[in-house]
Chain A
Amino acid sequence: MSTAAQIVVQDLRLAYGHKEVLHGISFDIRRNEIFGVIGPAQSGKTSLLRCLNRTIDFTPDTRVTGSVLVDGEDVRQTRNVFALRRKIGMVAPLPVGLPMSIYDNVAFAPRCAGMSRKSELDGIVEQCLRQGALWDEVKDRLDSLGTKLSGGQQQRLTIARALSHQPEILCLDEFSIAIDPVTTMRIEDVLKELRRNMTIILVTNLTQQARRLADRTLFLWKGAIVELDRSEVIFSDHPGNRQTYEYVNGIFG
């Protein structure tokens, strides 16, 4: 596995109005690793992801300083923000099936990118639905509405959609809060498969999930980094910081 840094975050600060939610954090994420981010609610995890693919732009009254480099390119200076977003797959906490057919849900991103040939789209749709472990359940009703699927299926559809633009980086933001444990395990298996092809950022408030999956884990608290280390260290009995131990073991939080 290559250890080259794919994402470099340097002194990233983010403020909503006068309230600073990220206080100048720096770290890097290596290619093809599963990078866990843990921390209690309101610690800035989601904001961090939104800085990464610049959907933070859609929130009014935000101020970002510092830099985020993806493959050496500063996302805040990138010329084609849409290509950047296609490079980064994003799965939101709550499943969102778009109000269109299952096929269109997955084909939406390639179409937005300018792909129009049916054979290519068919291929991508099947590939992504298979990767999202949803293909077998929906292959006979690809033209039914994505919003009419069950919650767990919609979350897998969301993952398939995040894969549909063939990203190099996949961000999952607490993907399991709305789905049952069995589906969660299935998706975790999928992630283990996917890591061969992409970098995965796994934001989670289930510390055990990060322990199971992540190579390295970042503990974020109140917009600042408490500790970043290999997961074995973070989840051991002697992490570098006492707060980490307390959070991971549920003493604090």
Chain B
Amino acid sequence: MMFTETPLVRRKLRQERLAKWIFFGMTASMIIPLVLIVGYLVERAWPSLSLSFLVDVPARGMKEGGVWPALVGTIYLVVLSLAVSAPVGVLAAVYLNEYARDNWFNRIINLAVINLAGVPSIVHALFGLGAFVYAARFGYSIISASLTLAIMTLPVIIASTREALASVPRSFREACWNVGATRWQTIKAVVLPNSISGILTGIILQVSRAAGETAPIMFTGAVFFKAVDKGDLFPYGLREQCMALSMHLYTLSTQVPGVKESVPFATAVVLLGSVLVVNATAIILRGYLRSRKKW
């Protein structure tokens, strides 16, 4: 016997479809404008976008030219900040997930991590200024800026690493403990090798975050302009200030009058593009590593 559609059923199905389209519309209305905006940015940036834009230095009072010093500066800041926050963050996550017992002290640590993640970036900037620039006497420098960025990215690395560690089943740990392995031997043999993909993805995602942040470096080490040779790979010393892409975009779009129109757009596209490329890499890597899970 066939299932016949009564008017009631038909109305229900229609409602169902309607609901689906409405929610789809809400999702799409968040995404489509953005795609259009990004497309618009690229279109406006087009006249300046070229490989030489990447390796050229700013010219004529930053009104023309490329972004090389800012690009290198951003790489400096990202590498240095992650060199600090990645090991500290991973080890902190190992402590919280593998060693810490559930007591008031460790609950306070958890609270601190959550709180640290919520601290506004401008407050990080104030902290960096007070602690690194003045108190630690690093001055306005790459070190101060990187350390500020490091503390900013730390809680997110802790959170993503903990998630990765927690995905390793407890039965593996118990099997190791049962044969007389110490906690660290267990972590080294079973926990870390099987969570490394998640840990790496979390760290790579922070690469793009550190590259995009502006406020924390604005008052700790980033500078409007610094003369750098074209294509020079090591233009900065650690105690010097540097340019950075994010800061450069802010400067070009708000502080410099008479900039050639496509230059800030091209800077935005370079920053956006590099961030998205890094993130896409992390997402692809995550998918790949997930597909070769060992159990």
Contacts and interface: CB of A to CB of B under 8 A. Distances in A.
A97 B178 CA distance: 13
A175 B189 CA distance: 24
A86 B180 contact: yes
Contacts of B180: 82-86, 109, 112-113, 165
Contact of B175 (A61, A83, A96, A145): A96
A165 B175 CA distance: 13
B177 A112 contact: no
B101 A98 contact: no
Given A96-B172, A147-B295, A60 B178 contact: no
B185 interface: yes
Contacts of B174: 55, 58, 92, 96
A70 to B, nearest CB: 14
B60 interface: no
A211 B171 CA distance: 29
A173 B173 CA distance: 17
Interface in B173-201: 173-182, 185, 189-190, 193-194
Contacts of A83: 180
Given A60-B101, A94-B171, A99-B190, A147 B294 contact: yes
A165 B180 CA distance: 8
A138 to B, nearest CB: 17
A158 B180 CA distance: 14
Interface in B156-179: 171-179
B189 A92 contact: no
Given A96-B171, A99-B295, A112-B185, A162 B178 contact: yes
Contacts of A97: 295
A112 B175 contact: no
Nearest to A84: B180
Interface in A45-95: 53, 55, 58, 60-61, 82-86, 89-90, 92, 94
B295 A109 contact: no
B5 interface: no
Chain A interface size, under 10 / 10 to 19 / 20 to 34 / 35 or more: 20 to 34
Contacts of A156: none
Contact of B179 (A60, A100, A161): A161
Contacts of B190: 98-100
B176 A55 contact: no
Contact of A99 (B177, B185, B194): B194
A85 B179 contact: yes
Nearest to A109: B179
Most buried by B among A84, A112, A164: A112
A180 B180 CA distance: 29
Contact of A92 (B175, B182, B185, B294): B175
A112 B173 CA distance: 14
B178 A90 contact: yes
A210 to B, nearest CB: 22
B51 to A, nearest CB: 44
A92 B295 CA distance: 18
A80 to B, nearest CB: 9
Interface string B59-87: 00000000000000000000000000000
A184 B102 CA distance: 39
Nearest to B101: A60
Contacts of B101: 60
Contacts of B182: 82, 112
Given A85-B179, A108-B176, A99 B193 contact: yes
Nearest to B170: A58
Interface string A121-164: 00000000000000000000000010100000000001001101
B172 A98 contact: yes
Interface string B99-136: 00110000000000000000000000000000000000
Given A60-B102, A99-B294, A92 B178 contact: yes
Interface in A97-113: 97-100, 108-109, 112-113
A108 B176 CA distance: 8
Given A99-B172, A147-B295, A85 B102 contact: no
Interface string A159-184: 00110110000000000000000000
Interface of B: 101-102, 171-182, 185, 189-190, 193-194, 294-295
The 8 closest A-B pairs by CB, nearest first: A109-B179, A85-B180, A86-B180, A99-B294, A90-B178, A147-B295, A96-B175, A82-B180
Given A85-B177, A108-B179, A162-B178, 4 more contacts: A89-B179, A92-B174, A99-B194, A113-B180
7 contacts: A53-B178, A61-B102, A82-B180, A98-B176, A100-B193, A109-B181, A162-B179
